[in-house]
Amino acid sequence: MEKKTARNFFIWGTVICTAIFIWLTIDTHKTIPERTNTDKLTDEVVAGKRVWHKYNCNGCHTILGIGVYYSPDVTKVYSKRGDIWLKEYLKNPESPDPKRRKMPNQNLSADEITKAIAFLQWVSEIDTNDWPPTPITVAKVTGAPLEETAMILKGKTVYTQNRCDLCHRIGGQGGVIGPDLSKVGTAKVPQWLSQIIKNPISVNPNTQMPAYPHLADDEVQALVSFLSGLK
Ligand code: HEC
Ligand code: HEC
């Protein structure tokens, strides 16, 4: 390429990309009122947001990607749980189950609960292009009893360390020699899963799936917890 051509290429490339960037930015901003239902942004919703901050709900939860992942993402909790469930839950969120992560009871007044719910409802109606995505296993992990969460996460690690992904896909990632495991938890019971991992030949004498005799029992069990959660 000659020097002049290269310069033209650079200048026009920059001009066109900048124009596209500006156009997309303007387009995004134009759609915000519609996507966020600005017309439904009532005083009650605004008061609900204040409640959200007063009690530092963000310190444990995430909304629209902002906050902490200690506890469930509540961007869509209103559409998932509804008004009545939320009202009851927020009155007394402490679970008696010692294995669950605790949501403390911060003694919100009835008025604060109503406002917080109005805010959560408004948030859940924002068109977020399906955010938050439901990550594999996390749907099961968040809010699950701690012991179970630990097992699932350990199983995921065993899966990665043993390179099961060389042959299997989960959520579109991995090889194609073995079956897609994204929904294996729906189709197979835990006992069958542990058998195929420990001794694939006993399930199918001609299988291409290698045996994993070096896996310890608790590693197999963790793998099974992880796979059972894929639904
Ligand atoms: C100290 C951390 C913490 C704080 C602060 C906190 N939460 Fe929670 N929240 C949790 C945990 C943990 C859970 C899951 C509890 C469970 O599954 O038993 C939860 C669950 C919830 C749920 C139910 C989610 C679902 O789908 O099951 C809602 C709604 C909720 N919190 C709203 C709030 C609101 C509103 C505030 C602020 C007033 C708040 N939380 C403050 C820890 C917290
Ligand atoms: C070399 C490729 C390969 C590797 C590596 C591999 N698998 Fe497989 N796997 C297969 C094949 C092929 C099948 C199909 C079973 C058959 O042949 O009967 C299978 C079947 C399975 C099934 C049953 C799926 C179903 O729906 O029927 C599970 C569960 C499974 N594998 C888990 C694992 C786990 C966990 C690991 C890692 C510890 C692993 N696989 C590693 C090739 C592999």
Per-residue pLDDT reduced to its tens digit, 5-27: 999 999 999 999 999 999 999 99
The reply to whether ligand 2 has any atom less than 6 angstroms from the CB of 211 is: no
* pLDDT reported for residue 158: 92
Quote the ligand 2 centre to 142 CA distance (angstroms).
27
Closest CA to 83 of 132, 134, 124: 124
For residue 64, give every residue at least 6 positions away whose Cβ sits within 8 Å of its Cβ, in sequence order, or none: 75, 123, 126, 128, 131
Nearest ligand 1 atom to the CA of 100 is 18
The reply to whether ligand 2 has any atom less than 6 angstroms from the CB of 162 is: yes
The reply to whether ligand 2 has any atom less than 6 angstroms from the CB of 86 is: no
Quote the ligand 1 centre to 127 CA distance (angstroms).
23
The reply to whether ligand 1 has any atom less than 6 angstroms from the CB of 96 is: no
Per-residue pLDDT reduced to its tens digit, 24-76: 999 999 999 999 999 999 999 999 999 999 999 999 999 999 999 888 899 99
For residue 122, give every residue at least 6 positions away whose Cβ sits within 8 Å of its Cβ, in sequence order, or none: 37, 40, 41, 45, 48
Per-residue pLDDT reduced to its tens digit, 100-142: 788 899 999 999 999 999 999 999 999 998 888 765 555 455 5
The reply to whether ligand 2 has any atom less than 6 angstroms from the CB of 204 is: yes
Ligand nearest to the CA of 181: 2
